[in-house]
């Protein structure tokens, strides 16, 4: 299913076509608008192109931090899993199968 969404942000309007449902596209647009407002508030920048570029950079930074956190958590889960497997193997050796 292909949907279109009209974007009107930072003084620019255009329509995008995406293979996502309309509700999802509107949610992403709302999040982006909030990110743009946050960028304006924390930076004091008002030039639309600069705001858009800085917002994109900040969102990429946030994505990378979340990815790193998930990778760290995955490593911890794998370590815990291996520790449990080792403990189970040792218990089975000690007490028989």
Cα separation, 27 vs 30, whole angstroms: 5
pLDDT, tens digit (0-9, with 9 covering 90-100), for 29-38:
999 999 999 9
Question: What predicted TM-score, i.e. pTM, was given to this entire model?
Answer: 0.74
pLDDT of residue 95: 87
For the chain, which residues make up each domain, given as ranges?
3-95
**Percent of the chain whose predicted confidence (pLDDT) is above 90:** 85
């Amino acid at each position: 299913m292909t949907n279109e969404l009209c974007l009107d942000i930072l003084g620019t309007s255009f329509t995008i076509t995406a293979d996502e449902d309309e509700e999802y596209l509107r949610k992403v647009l709302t999040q982006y608008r909030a990110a743009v407002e946050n960028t304006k508030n924390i930076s004091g920048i008002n030039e639309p192109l600069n705001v858009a570029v800085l917002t994109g950079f900040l969102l990429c930074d946030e994505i990378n931090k979340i990815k790193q956190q998930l990778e760290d958590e995955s490593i911890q889960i794998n370590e815990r899993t291996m520790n449990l497997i080792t403990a189970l193997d040792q218990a089975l050796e000690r007490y028989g199968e």
